[in-house]
Amino acid sequence: MERIAWHQYFMAQSHLLALRSTCTRLAVGATIVREKRIIAGGYNGSIAGGDHCIDEGCYVIDNHCVRTIHAEMNAVLQCSKFGVPTKNSDVYVTHFPCLQCCKALIQAGIKTVYYAKDYKNHPYALELFKQAEVQVEKVPFHENSLDSNFKEKSHLILELIQELRNQGENEEKIAHFENEYIRLFNDE
C-alpha cells in the first residue's frame, strides 16, 4: 500500500474540518502544521454558543457574512487559546485566504500557505504575502488519495466498459459510462 503524501494528508485534514462548517455560503477548513505535526485546526462558523448560519441564515453586511469566523482565524485563535506558538508554521487551507485572514496569518508568523482552491484571490493579499516572505502554493486536493483501492476500482470500471464494448453494447450507453468514469476518476 502506498502512503499518502504529506501535502495530501494535511489538505485532507482541512477538508475534513470543512465538514464541520456552519456557513451556508462556503465550507472552509484550515490546518496549522509545524514540523509535520498538526498543532491546530479550524473551520468557518459562528462564535462558540452563538447563532449559526445553518440555523438562522447568514448575517450579511456589505456582501460579507459577519456571523462567521473564518477557518484560518479559528485555527490561529485555537493556538492562542491553548498557548501554542504559530511562528514558522505552515497552514493548509481548502480555499485561498481572504485579505483579513492573510494579514492574520502573516502576523501569526505562518511561513507557508498551502491552499487547494482559488477563491477570490485578492492581489493585495498576494502582495502582502510576498512582502512578508510568506510562501504561497496551490496544492490541489485529490480525494482519491484517501482511497487505498482507487487504482483497482478505476481499472475494474475500465474493464467493464471494455467488456460492454466487446459485447456490442450501444455506443451511446458506453459513452455515458465513459463520461461518468472521467467525472469520478479524473485524478488518476
List residues with catalytic annotation.
72
Residue 30 identity (one-letter amino acid): A
At residue 37's C-alpha, the angle toward residues 36 and 41, to 5°, is 120
How many contiguous H segments (helices) and E segments (strands) does the chain have?
A: 7, 7
Residue 123, amino acid: P
Q: Do the beta carbons of residue 93 and residue 27 sit within 8 Å? A: no
Which residues, listed in sequence order, are joined to residue 135 by a DSSP beta bridge?
112
Comparing CA positions, the residue from 81, 90, 111, 108 lying closest to residue 35 is 90
